[in-house]
Structure formats: C-alpha cells, structure tokens
C-alpha cells in the first residue's frame, strides 16, 4: 500500500501545515490573538483574518528563512511593531500588513523586501529613513490611509521601485522626489490641485498615471496644470476622471488610453489635438469623454467625428 504523506513536524495546533508543501503554514481565520511559534522550515506564513494585536522578536526567532508573511486583516498597531521586530527576517520578500491599525510606516523593515502592502490602515506619517534600506523594493502600497503631506525624502532609498499606490489618502500635492524607475503611479481619490512644471520629466519610464477623483482644475487653481504637464514619451495610460478640467490636456502621440470622464469640458480643440505629423503618429485607442458638458451640446457629433478622424485606432467608446 502507498505510504501516507509525512506530516511536517512542529506544526502549531491552531494552524494547518500541508504535507505536500512543508514550506507553508496556514493560520488564517483562526481567531488568533497571538502569533504561534513559526517552525524554522517555513518559507511562507499566512496569518490573515485573525485578531493578532502584537508581533515580537520572540514570535519570529526561528523564522529567519521566511520569504513571505501575510498579516492582513488583524489589529496590529504601530506601538506593537518595534523597530527590530522584523529586522531578523533577512530573506523576507513579501510583507502584507493591510487592514490593520498602523498609524505610521514601520521602521526596521528587512532590506530584502520586494513587495510591501500597507494599504487600508491609519498611516499619517512616513518617518525619516523608513525606506532607506529597501533598495530591492519594487511594489509599495500605501492606499487608503491618512497621508496629507509627504516629506521630501519620504521615498529615499527606493531605487528599484516600479509601482507606487497612494490612492485614497488626503494628499494635496504630487509626491516629491519619487524614484526615477517608477512605471505605475496611482494617486486617485486625493485632493491634489496642481502639478509642478516638468514633474513627469523625472520619471522617464512612467507608463501609468492615475489622478482620477482629485481637485485638478478647480476654479481657484485653473492654472495649476502646466500646458505640457502630461507630455511624456513613456506615458501610455492617463486617468484624469472626476476632476474639474475644462479642456483636454496636451499629450504625446504614444498615449494609448485617456480618461477624461466626469470633468467640466465644454469644448474640444480638435485642431490642436490632431497631430501635424499625420494620423498614423497617434496610438490613442481609448478616450473617455462621457459625463462632460460637451457631450450634451449640439456640436458633440461633429466633435466626435473629428476625433475619430484624427485618431485612426480610436474605438467609439466616448
């Protein structure tokens, strides 16, 4: 008869250790208040959906080989994560701390991190040097927190960062000194009113920019957007939905998607938008103008017809 799979040793009573995946431990949804001792063999530990209130060095004393740690949906607070709690996890690549009660970015994060999720907490502060050692980090999620102002050196050290999510905060200005390798920047659901001159020039690889549901173009800040603010060869997807823009901003011919729905646009200067170098020079294929005053005006059919002529790849989805 076939032998039964060998049960991994030292599996905490409250957890499940799959025999065919000895490097994983599942302790999710067990109503735990404390983190059980993690066996040294474990590489991925899942503690989401519990009532864990604190995490100590003692809890992790045998977990130096961890690659992934998920603590989403618990009740961890910033005072219960000391500066040295996570420092011993020298191989940790993924750390998920979403939907807890953190009020600031934890200090002493492992230098090995590549993916850090801190969304849906109460974070209002990025302490000085919080990311200074994280030169391998590629993805940072700080969405749905309480950030209002970011210090100039908030993202210092994140030389490999390609994805930054700051959606659903209270930011009034564009984040300063964002890492140059950034590919995706998500800033929707803030209160950003203006964009500095040549802001995108610092990010030669930025392909995705989401500024939907902000305060761009508000009556007090009509001049808050420089004429060439969004002209970038790398930019492919630009989302400006639900702002107060009155005009279609200028953009590079490489842009593929442009979202301008739910603005205050009353007129589209098709002469300015049509590229003088010829129709084939524009790659725009998705252009949202719905829920703007222009779509209710008698000139809408003529304007849309001209846009279809200017942009040969454009799909009729206004």
DSSP-derived letter for residue 175 is P
What are the tens digits of pLDDT across the range 188-211?
A: 999 999 999 899 999 999 999 999
CA distance 284 to 237: 10
What are the tens digits of pLDDT across the range 32-44?
A: 999 998 999 999 9
What are the tens digits of pLDDT across the range 115-149?
A: 999 999 999 999 999 999 999 999 999 999 999 99
| Residue 280 pLDDT exceeds 70 | no
DSSP-derived letter for residue 198 is T
- The pLDDT, as a whole number, for residue 312 is 86
Could you tell me the domains of the chain? 197-318 (3.80.10.10)
Write down how long the chain is: 318
Sign of the four-CA dihedral 156, 160, 166, 172: positive
Strand order in the sheet with 208-210: 24-26, 44-46, 68-70, 94-96, 115-117, 139-141, 163-165, 184-186, 208-210, 237-239, 257-259, 286-288
């Amino acid at each position: 008869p076939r032998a039964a799979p060998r049960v991994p040793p030292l599996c905490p009573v409250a957890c499940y250790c799959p025999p065919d995946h000895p490097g994983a431990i599942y302790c999710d949804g067990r109503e735990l208040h404390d983190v059980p001792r993690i066996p040294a063999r474990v590489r991925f530990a899942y503690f989401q959906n519990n009532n864990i209130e604190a995490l100590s060095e003692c809890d992790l004393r045998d977990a130096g080989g961890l690659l992934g740690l998920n603590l989403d949906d618990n009740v961890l607070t910033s005072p219960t994560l000391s500066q040295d709690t996570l420092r011993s996890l020298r191989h940790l690549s993924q750390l998920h701390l979403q939907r807890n009660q953190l009020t600031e970015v934890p200090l002493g994060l492992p230098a090995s991190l590549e993916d850090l999720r801190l969304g849906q907490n109460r974070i209002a502060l990025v302490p000085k040097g919080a990311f200074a050692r994280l030169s391998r980090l590629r993805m940072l999620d700080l969405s749905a927190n309480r950030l209002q102002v970011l210090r100039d050196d908030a993202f210092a050290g994140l030389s490999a960062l390609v994805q930054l999510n700051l959606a659903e905060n209270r930011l009034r200005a564009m984040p300063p000194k964002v890492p140059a390798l950034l590919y995706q920047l998500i800033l929707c659901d803030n209160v950003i009113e203006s964009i500095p001159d040549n802001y995108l020039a610092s990010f030669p690889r930025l392909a995705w920019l989401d500024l939907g549901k902000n305060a761009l173009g508000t009556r007090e800040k009509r001049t808050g957007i420089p004429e060439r603010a969004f002209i970038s060869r790398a930019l492919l997807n630009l989302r400006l939905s639900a702002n107060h823009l009155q005009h279609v901003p200028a953009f590079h011919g490489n842009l593929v998607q442009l979202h301008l729905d739910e603005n205050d646009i009353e007129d589209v200067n098709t002469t300015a938008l049509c590229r003088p170098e010829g129709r084939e020079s524009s790659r725009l294929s998705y252009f949202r103008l719905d829920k703007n005053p222009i779509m209710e005006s008698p000139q809408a059919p003529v304007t849309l017809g001209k846009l279809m002529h200017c942009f040969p790849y454009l799909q009729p989805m206004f």
